[in-house]
Amino acid sequence: MLLITDRPEQSHKLDRLLSLWGPCAVVDLNRPVAVRPASRHLLISDVDLSNRASVEAVRRTLASHRSAGTPFLCLLRDPSPRTAVQANAIGASAVLSADAPAKVLLGEVGRMLNGAGDSQPVQQQFVAASVVVADMLERAARGDALSPAALDGGIEAINRAADQRDLGAWLDMVWSHDDATYQHCLLVAGLAAAFAERLSFPETARRLVTGAALLHDVGKARIPLAILHKPGALTAEEMRIVREHPRVGYEMLRMQGGFEREIVDAAYSHHEYLDGSGYPRGLRADEVSDLVRMITICDVYAALIERRSYKAPMAPEQAYGTLAAMTGKLDPDLLRAFRQVVLPN
């Protein structure tokens, strides 16, 4: 995708949200930098169309990057007839309010990328969950309170997707996300929801497991993106900063209040191992709750199968074999049950 904007202070947030559907390059009309022409599946503009100079700048940028048939979504800040006419004049395939909710924006982008037909239920649930993850991490990064209602909606969406018992479809959509942190949250939450469903947990327990998975890495919102998105190995100091995220997430949830004790504990303890070799507290055996044991299994498995620029993803069989070889670290009974989630045949 290519995002054309004249308000760079907003572009990073929009770019990161759009990364749900894949890589997104940005052209800032205030500081034009050459963006190498490439095959674009979708062009998006977030520009003040009441400014004639901006309209002409958008027109020139489109001419450089638009091929025949490439859809163009124009975000309108002023939904007046005049700006709608301007959008049509520069060739918009669709228009949407720049203030449209993230769910509406992502749904429209998905429709334009994947065709005009109605999306499948799992895709609809995935978009809803992605919006929740984006909102959660943005709020956490700013130091704002998380929205319990939004989180409940994300938990519901992920659990209903798990009801379909189509983990492969969920994984395919996760891989389309270009932001590593969003991808990981959605991956662990999808695995945990499928795990709880496979264990026939009642709905209340399923919501607790999925909620814990959704929030387990919330502390990473306070880790600099330059470290989280670094393409190579981390330095010792960068690793020290990353390893603070369980404590940061715990303090964040504890200070806000209103979250179940088990969810707060999962944010703090999901890197603990039963043999005491984990962090940040070196918990052992019965000090690690059953829910945390589930989240840890999903978290480690997710890290093994994730695609990164610096490592190839493991195949499911190899990733599960790696978990099975972690003798003494993971709960063996839960690990056997997890096999039916990721290697059902």
User: Residue 18 has what pLDDT?
Assistant: 82
Q: Are 8 and 62 members of one domain?
A: yes
The pLDDT value recorded for residue 255 is 94
Is 94 in the same domain as 175? no
Over residues 296-308, the mean pLDDT reads 93
pLDDT digits (tens, 9 = 90+) for 160-210: 999 988 898 898 888 877 678 888 999 999 999 999 999 999 999 999 999
The single residue of 220, 230, 311, 329 carrying the catalytic annotation is 220
Does one domain contain both 176 and 83? no
Question: Quick one: 32 and 157 in the same domain?
Answer: no
Looking at the structure, tell me whether residues 329 and 221 fall in a common domain: yes
* 12-26, 135-149, 265-279, 285-299: segment of lowest average pLDDT: 12-26
User: d(Cα 327, Cα 335) in Å, to the nearest integer?
Assistant: 11
Both tokens of 230, joined, read 């670094």
* pLDDT value of position 127: 82
Instruction: Give per-residue pLDDT as tens, 92-112.
Output: 999 999 988 877 888 788 778
Q: Does 129 lie in the same domain as 105?
A: no
Residues 201 and 181 in one domain: yes
Single-letter code of the amino acid located at 114? N
Predicted confidence (pLDDT) per residue in 205-248, tens digit: 999 999 999 999 999 999 998 898 888 889 999 999 999 999 99
137, 18: one domain:
no
Give residue 113's pLDDT: 78
Q: How far apart are CA 194 and CA 210, in angstroms?
A: 9
Q: How many domains does the chain have?
A: 2
Q: Indicate if the pLDDT at residue 149 is higher than 90.
A: no
- Quote the pLDDT of residue 117: 46
User: Using CA atoms, how far apart are residues 271 and 323, in angstroms rounded to an integer?
Assistant: 14
* pLDDT classification of 34: cutoffs 50, 70, 90: low
Domain end residue (candidates: 79, 114, 149): 114
Q: Are residues 85 and 185 in the same domain?
A: no
Residue 254 has pLDDT above 90, yes or no: yes
183 and 241 fall within a common domain: yes
Tell me which residue of 203, 222, 217 sits closest to 159, measured CA to CA: 203
What pTM, to 2 d.p., does this model score? 0.81
The predicted structure's pLDDT at residue 148: 86
CATH code where residue 213 lies: 1.10.3210.10
220 is catalytic: yes
pLDDT of residue 223: 93
Q: Which residue has the tokens 């470290």?
A: 227
32: pLDDT strictly greater than 80: no
What would the pLDDT profile of 264-277 be if each residue is shown by its tens digit? 999 999 999 999 99
Annotate 183-227 with DSSP letters as a single string.
HHHHHHHHHHHHHHHHTT--HHHHHHHHHHHHHTTGGGGGS-HHH
* DSSP annotation of 331: -
Check which CATH number belongs to the domain holding 100 and give it.
3.40.50.2300
Residues 17 and 341: their CA atoms lie apart, in Å, by: 29
Q: What does the radius of gyration of the chain's CA atoms come to, in whole angstroms?
A: 22
Q: Residue 14 is part of which domain span?
A: 2-114
Domain endpoint, select from 86, 114, 142: 114
Task: Verify that 202 and 321 share a domain, yes or no.
Answer: yes
Domain boundary among 114, 142, 166: 114
Cα torsion 282, 284, 287, 290 to 10°: value is: 110
For residues 299, 12, 221, 226, the Cα torsion angle rounded to the nearest 10 degrees is 80
Phi and psi at 321, nearest 5°, equal -60, -35
Q: Are residues 104 and 239 in the same domain?
A: no
